[in-house]
Amino acid sequence: MAENSIVKTEKKADLTAPEFTRGTVTFTPRVDIIETAEELLLFADVPGVKSEDVDVRFENGELILHGRCNPRGHAANSLLNEYEVGDFYRVFALSESIDAEKIGAELKQGVLTVHLPKAAAVKPRKITVQGN
């Protein structure tokens, strides 16, 4: 796993108080991160979260993913109970090579996709070699 400087660290210590006052369970979503020449692509599984309940923020160099998932109530008459429903929360620290202004996110079928474009300075540039 290439842990280079673009995704610096994941801040576990930032899982702090205000998010958990709702009294629901909070899960860490599973995430894929792929780096291409232009951008970093982040996919997070957040099943049950609607687009109006997802909060993607970038502040102080940190990308904060927060999805609120309301309980789907059927506690009574349960026959099989293998998983629980709860909120999703995860924080990533990003290096300065990300162009924060152009971060974009979309949610489709419970998968959150975040586009993190690289700043122009770190994009690979092809230099034309002129022959004669």
User: For binding to other proteins (CB under 8 A), which residues are involved?
Assistant: 1-4, 6-7, 15, 20, 25-37, 40-41, 43, 45-50, 72, 74, 76-86, 88, 108-111
Q: Give least dist CB 2 to other proteins, A.
A: 6
| Residue 20, φ and ψ in degrees, nearest 5 | -110, 20
Q: From CA 58, how far away is CA 69, in angstroms rounded?
A: 21
Q: Give least dist CB 130 to other proteins, A.
A: 27
Pick between residue 35 and residue 99 the one whose CB is nearest to other proteins.
Answer: 35
56 DSSP β-pair partners: 65
Pick between residue 45 and residue 132 the one whose CB is nearest to other proteins.
Answer: 45
Q: Give least dist CB 10 to other proteins, A.
A: 9
Q: From CA 5, how far away is CA 96, in angstroms rounded?
A: 10
Q: From CA 102, how far away is CA 89, in angstroms rounded?
A: 22
